[in-house]
Amino acid sequence: AQSVTQLGSHVSVSEGALVLLRCNYSSSVPPYLFWYVQYPNQGLQLLLKYTSAATLVKGINGFEAEFKKSETSFHLTKPSAHMSDAAEYFCAVSGDAGGTSYGKLTFGQGTILTVHP
Amino acid sequence: GAGVSQSPRYKVAKRGQDVALRCDPISGHVSLFWYQQALGQGPEFLTYFQNEAQLDKSGLPSDRFFAERPEGSVSTLKIQRTQQEDSAVYLCASSPREGGSAPLHFGNGTRLTVT
């Protein structure tokens, strides 16, 4: 069974400050990992994904995440927050890297990011 | 259209009514998923289709929930005898291929409110 834990349901930062959203996963097999962003009344949009290539993954809008197997973590960061980054962020784990999974995602509970001017 | 389309965007149902939620995936996408997102929670898996075949329905919460994708494109999620606990946003997602690394493309969801 797989699970995802996002530490902190709410994170607040000032515009221009570092953004750090935490995600830890549990998986019995090498995972695929994803970060999605959800704006109000919209669906989820992919930010980035880890698929067992480089451990540091760069995504859209200046976000990146680092896969750390020893810590079972996949934290999302952005060096300088922008007002438009305010949204809810979801970490998700999928199947196994052996290619037998059809892509079913298990999501964390989400972290709401607030950006103050 | 360019993305996954869901209709209606909002649905209000009285307890006990049946509802049908529609999903138009991106053309040519093989995989289709339904998720349920309760207020303040992450999406939770309901069911998965590969083309017209429903390969996983382990997330459907009860036998009141039924999904179909008869021609391998449009899908419908039906909820019979709705209950208040069914109130949630129902998200549809599609993917061009089967596989754990394939990112899902989500629609904007249908917000169901059961009164």
Chain B: nearest CA to A117, how far in angstroms?
Answer: 25
Residue B35, pLDDT above cutoff 80: yes
Alpha helix ranges (H) inside chain B: none
Interval B49-95: pLDDT, tens: 999 999 999 999 999 999 999 999 999 999 999 999 999 999 999 99
Indicate the SS3 state at residue B21.
strand
Least confident of A45-54, B12-21, B59-68: A45-54
Largest CA distance in chain B: 40
Chain A: nearest CA to B97, how far in angstroms?
Answer: 8
Least confident of A54-58, A113-117, B74-78, B98-102: B98-102
Residue B46: how many CB atoms within 10 A of its CB? 21
pLDDT at A99: 47
The answer to whether the Cβ–Cβ distance between B100 and A95 falls below 8 Å is yes
Least confident of A51-65, B9-23, B61-75: A51-65
Residue A98, pLDDT above cutoff 50: no
Mean pLDDT in residue range A46-55: 88
Set of chain B residues whose Cβ sits within 8 Å of the Cβ of A32: 100-101
Residue A96, pLDDT above cutoff 60: no
Kindly indicate the confidence band of residue B21, based on its pLDDT and cuts at 50, 70 and 90: very high
Set of chain B residues whose Cβ sits within 8 Å of the Cβ of A102: 31, 48, 50, 55-56, 98-100
Interval A6-24: pLDDT, tens: 999 999 999 999 999 999 9
pLDDT at A97: 44
pLDDT at B1: 54
> Does residue B52 contact residue B70 with C-beta atoms inside 8 Å?
yes
Name the residue facing B100 among A45, A90, A94 (closest C-beta): A94
State whether residue B41 sits within 8 Å of chain A by CB.
Answer: yes
Indicate the SS3 state at residue A30.
coil
Nearest CA in chain B to A52: B101
Identity (one letter) of the amino acid at B33?
F
Tokens of B78: 């039906």
Name the residue facing A102 among B40, B55, B105 (closest C-beta): B55
